[in-house]
Amino acid sequence: MRTFFGIFSGWLCLTVGISCSGAGSSGSSLPAYRDESRSLEERVEDALSRMTLDEKVAVLHAQSKFSSAGVPRLGIPELWCTDGPHGIRPEVLWDEWDQAGWTNDSCTAFPALTCLAATWNPAMSALYGKSIGEEARYREKDVLLGPGVNIYRTPLNGRNFEYMGEDPYLASRMVVPYVREVQKNGVAACVKHFALNNQETRRNDVNVEVDDRALHEIYLPAFEAAVREGGAWAVMGSYNKYKGQHCCHNRYLLNDILKGEWAFDGAVISDWGGVHDTRQAVENGLDLEFGTWTDGLRAGTRNAYDNYYLAQPYLDLLREGEADVQTLDDKVRRVLRLIFRTAMNTRKPFGSLNSPEHLAAARQIAGEGMVLLKNDGGTLPFDPSAMKRLLVVGENAVKMMTVGGGSSSLKVRHECTPLEGIRAAAEASGCGVVYERGYVGDPSGSYNGVTTGQDLSESRSAERLIADAVAAAKEADAVLFVGGLNKSDFQDCEGADRKEYGLPYAQDRVIEALAAANPRLAVVLVSGNAVAMPWLDRAPAVLEAWFSGSEAGNALADVVFGKVNPSGKLPFTFPVRLEDNAAHAVGEFPGGDTVRYREGLFVGYRWHEIREIAPLFAFGHGLSYTTFSISNLRLSADRMASDASLTVRVDVTNTGERAGAEVVQLYVGDDESFVQRPLKELKGFEKVSLQPGETRTVAFEITPAALSYYDDTKSAWRAEPGAFTIHVGAASDDIRQTGHFVLE
């Protein structure tokens, strides 16, 4: 909530036209920094010129758990941040993580970013950004702490569900619309966690060792796209170290790359508690410090904000002449830009909260992101009008998933569980729904003061639960098992990584027993991570439903009963075994003081392909209730000049009997490289909706930049002349068409 003084003083100066700044104003004239007809830089320079040294330092650090100070004397308002990126978190107390106890801060929960990435549809990303931006704006938030684009390196990372998968190109294309649409609401997107935050184990001190090619080709592109194409107004540093320096004050990442190469003009915000040294914070690119000493990780003191590294200690250095004013002014300019773009932007829209449109958006994104992994014999969709009894089994069918998981935990106004959505849709068609628990996972339902209100206590033994589920399965027309992971510690949760690749709570036993009892079984996985599936050959249908937010149950029912034809594609590879993943095969996880990314470029499908390791489910995989053909690939030329582009066209046809959507994926392989490169890399995709029998032509433009690798000997991108192969298909392991050309 804005402070009364900040609001009143700003209103008074703008309305009456008086000077709130003293020197530099001319009585009735509007100060330049308040004049929105002037350029942003003119306003920033004018405001900067009016600020005292104390005021400059004051805007560089927190004044509460989620706010930083403005300049009350000048009527420049404070900044308010909110955790994301899946919804607007409830209010907390000034100095505490504890809930403030408001009754009007419930939000719409949108699907996890893994689900968004699985849509492979930038239009869904735009809808997501627009909707969550409107909720942030309504709640008077200036900075949304998201989206996250750290690369999916290992299935054990507890925070993978908040990110956009393993491929830098896919994440780049999906993050840009999100950022743009959030910021149209006058709310800054703060892209996180920059960079190399690929594990939660020892996240506050582990030093990442990665070669320059992998850094630039795998781990940085999505951040660069968010900054250069999305125009992100803020970037959050990560907790971990790189080159021995914490990433919240890392000279190479922040000064050399972000602010140097990428010309980022926004503010670098620390993760909460991610700052460790005043001089490094001053010199190595940090602009706004949050969470220090009151970060919930260690004992601190209330109202400790003047002791932050960028507070009194920085002021002391400045007064003693040990820190230069030029660096200070650069930081203040960046914070002022952020304030003028958000809190002091009088032209931003009003926003909305929990609107029917937001619930519809959450449902649409969730349905489009669900991935049909397997569907033998057309097991799905179920036809409820042709069934008398459907059995739903599994704790995840009833457990609310919007609470928990760390900083993305939410307090929602509404959450439809899978059982509620399935029951409502089935019973509307005359099909009865029976529920059995099957297993007990985590019956609790609270996080950071928010409780679900659910009573998930259970008195039956594990054996009794399975026996009851099996008995019910034998009497049912079909069985829907809803399991997977949850947002408890050591699962999909911030602060800790998973302990095992397999499903927890002995779910494998339940699935195997159900498969033996009823051949018409569909397994639904609610998760943000890949899992092992030793029962896969016995389960005719498997659907990845992700953490789907407020409308999870309705969206699941839409897909299970065929109202929505699934079109999601995996944004990361499902390995058969954990040892098939590169980080566990040749790299390190979680490491000790240092974690070494020995796999280099070969993350996800790149590793599986170069080592010829068959995945459980490949990157880009996803089935439909209809079928598609991809044919007639043609290139605009068989030779490409180094300053030109080449067009690739293919025809995609719906060869089935249902309307549906296919994601046409284009990969490029360098056949004659002098350095080691992946066999192929994603360089284009397009989702195409088609009626039965309909054909459309999809066109992709290939530029030399798409053919380039990072030359670490010259610190530059380079496209080698020679032969390249175009691979077009429906998944990384389902290539339907190939073509060849030469780069001159």
- The catalytic residues are 271
Number of alpha carbons in the 13 Å side-chain half-sphere of residue 322: 10
What is Dmax (Cα atoms) for the chain? Answer: 85
List, as one string, the DSSP characters of 493-523: -TTS--S-SSPSTTHHHHHHHHHHH-S-EEE
Separation between Cα atoms, residue 45 and residue 228, nearest integer Å? 23
Q: Are 723 and 669 contacting, i.e. CB atoms less than 8 angstroms apart?
A: no
Q: Are 564 and 659 contacting, i.e. CB atoms less than 8 angstroms apart?
A: no
User: What residues form DSSP beta bridges with 434?
Assistant: 391
Three-class DSSP category at 127: helix
The amino acid at residue 440 is V
Pairing of strands 639-640, 628-635: unpaired
User: What residues form DSSP beta bridges with 640?
Assistant: 743
Q: Are 234 and 622 contacting, i.e. CB atoms less than 8 angstroms apart?
A: no
Q: Are 402 and 550 contacting, i.e. CB atoms less than 8 angstroms apart?
A: yes
Separation between Cα atoms, residue 65 and residue 320, nearest integer Å? 29
Three-class DSSP category at 199: coil
Q: Are 371 and 543 contacting, i.e. CB atoms less than 8 angstroms apart?
A: yes
Separation between Cα atoms, residue 153 and residue 155, nearest integer Å? 7
Residue 545 CB coordination number (10 Å): 28
CA of 496: how far to CAs of 130, 159, 199, in Å? Answer: 31, 8, 8
Residue 687 phi, psi dihedral angles, 5° rounding: -90, 130
Cis peptide before 571 (omega within 30 of 0): no
Q: Is 267 exposed, middle or buried (0-12, 13-18, 19+ CB in 10 A)?
A: buried
Q: Is 656 exposed, middle or buried (0-12, 13-18, 19+ CB in 10 A)?
A: middle
Angle between helices 312-319 and 325-341 (to 10 degrees): 140
100 Ramachandran zone, left/alpha/beta (phi>0; psi -120 to 50): alpha
Residue 3: both structure tokens together: 């402070």
Separation between Cα atoms, residue 147 and residue 560, nearest integer Å? 29
Q: Are 148 and 127 contacting, i.e. CB atoms less than 8 angstroms apart?
A: no
Separation between Cα atoms, residue 646 and residue 643, nearest integer Å? 10
- Residue pointed to by tokens 């009823």: 518
Q: Are 624 and 662 contacting, i.e. CB atoms less than 8 angstroms apart?
A: yes
Give the contacts of 389 (CB within 8 A, at least 6 positions apart). Answer: 431, 432, 433, 434, 475, 476, 477
Separation between Cα atoms, residue 741 and residue 724, nearest integer Å? 6
The amino acid at residue 530 is A
Give the contacts of 420 (CB within 8 A, at least 6 positions apart). Answer: 553
